[in-house]
Amino acid sequence: MTEPAAANVVEIEGVSKSFRTGVTALQEVALDIRAGEFISLIGPSGCGKSTLLRIVGDLIQPTSGSVTVNGKTAHQARLDHDYGIVFQDAVLYDWRTVARNVSLPLEMLGWDRARRRARVAEMLELVELTGFESSRPWQLSGGMQQRVSIARALSFDPPLLLMDEPFGALDEMTRERLNMELLRIWDKAGSTVVFVTHSIPEAVFLSTRVVVMSARPGRIAGVVDVDLEQPRTIDTREDARFFELITTVRETLAAGHGGDASRAGAAEERF
């Protein structure tokens, strides 16, 4: 994983995606993501933000356009284990203990037992779940499960972390705490993050840039640079600039919504 500090980790060029149902999920999306950035994709349902995330992760193919990850095709990047993915549900396997869930990608990468054990201990410490190694996923709360999922995604040091509404199913307090934790982990791990969310405050609080998308067809309505001081703290949420940026994002969303707001359709965002 050797990339120059300011190199583009992800280059998205003219990506469109139409589904067989005739729905255009994405139209001519272009976006560059630099190393170490924390990018949020935000927009209404059906704007294709999860689709875009999956195209970057080579989980679905764009109809046209190209995605380059670390100078390679998205497909090659996936084969090279460049992605750590966190979904809205933690996707932990009940037949594996917490420790063995975290070590799953390491097993698939062929790490030996001793190395796996050391890394799992390190990761569980990072997400503050030391002591839960031999617990089963279903014994943990939703927030704890999602932390296990994050530990698993980061366990093999992927250069790119893709997160699809990871805290969407959690209550507000847990979500805010996990936001803080995620930033701490991001700071330590130094990976690039693409984060899909429905929550404007969450996007502004976490990101270095917020990519605002609009629906039908899904496209980028605007990109908001978040110039809040790093590292973000609890006080960031009280900052006047924080509220200004929230307003900017909201206005960009409203502008992007524009005249199509009345055009109700059944665009499928996920497949």
Partner 1 sequence: MFAIGIGLWQGLTAAFHVQTFLLPRPSDIAQSFWDNKGSLWHAGLYTLKEALGGFAIGGSLGILVALLLARFRTVGAALMPFAIAANAIPIIAFAPITNNWFGLLNPISKMVIAAVLCFFPTMINTLRGLITVSPSSIELMRSYAGGEIETFRRVRIPNSLPFMFTGLKIAAVLSMIGAIVGEYFGGPTNALGVSILNDSQLFNFPRAWAGIILASAFGIGLYALVAAVEHATTSWHPSSRSVYTE
Q: Binding partner 1 by CB under 8 A: which of 36, 57, 201, 217?
A: 57
- Asked if 64 touches partner 1 (CB under 8 A), the answer is no
The percent helix, strand, coil of the chain (3-state, each to 5) is: 40, 25, 35
Residues 9 and 159 sit within 8 Å (Cβ to Cβ): yes
Of the candidate spans 39-47, 82-90, 117-125, 244-252, the one that interacts with partner 1 by CB under 8 A turns out to be 82-90
Stretch that binds partner 1, among 64-72, 74-82, 217-225, 257-265 (CB under 8 A): 74-82
By rule CB under 8 A, what string of x and - marks binding of each residue 116-135 to partner 1?
----------------x--x
d(C-alpha 20, C-alpha 27), whole Å: 15
User: Is 57 or 201 the residue whose CB approaches partner 1 more closely?
Assistant: 57
Q: Which region, judged by CB under 8 A, interacts with partner 1, from 90-98, 116-124, 203-211, 223-231?
A: 90-98
Nearer residue to partner 1 within complex by CB, 157 or 225: 157
Residue 246 CA to its chain's centroid (Å): 19
What is the x/- site pattern for partner 1, positions 153-192, by CB under 8 A?
---------x-----------x------------------
Residue 29 near residue 256 (C-beta atoms within 8 A): no
Question: How many C-beta atoms surround the C-beta of residue 109 within 10 A?
Answer: 13
Please tell me whether residue 8 adopts helix, strand or coil conformation.
strand
Cβ count near 28 (within 10 Å) = 14
Of the listed pieces 4-12, 33-41, 88-96, 219-227, which binds partner 1 according to CB under 8 A? 88-96
Which residue of 139, 230, 233, 247 would you call a contact of partner 1, by CB under 8 A?
A: 139
> How many angstroms separate the CA atoms of 114 and 121, rounded?
11
d(CA 178, CA 172): 10
Q: Note whether 98 and 129 are within 8 A (CB).
A: yes
Spell out the long-range contacts of 72-78 with Cβ–Cβ below 8 A and sequence spacing 24 or more.
Answer: 77/160
Amino acid found at 158 = P
Binding residue for partner 1 (CB under 8 A) from 15, 140, 151, 161? 140
* Binding-site member from 5, 6, 138, 262 for partner 1 (CB under 8 A): 138
Extract the tokens encoding 205: 């609080």
Compare residues 6 and 95 and give the one whose CB is closer to partner 1: 95
Among 49, 52, 70, 83, binds partner 1 (CB under 8 A): 83
Question: Is residue 1 a contact residue for partner 1 (CB under 8 A)?
Answer: no
Q: Could you tell me the CA-to-CA distances from 31 to 16, 69, 168, 212, 250 in Å, in that order?
A: 12, 12, 24, 12, 20
Q: Are 135 and 148 in contact (CB under 8 A)?
A: no
Nearer to partner 1, 85 or 212 (CB): 85
Query: Which residues lie near partner 1 (CB under 8 A)?
Result: 54, 57-59, 78-81, 83-85, 87-89, 91, 93-96, 104-105, 108, 132, 135-136, 138-141, 143-144, 162, 174
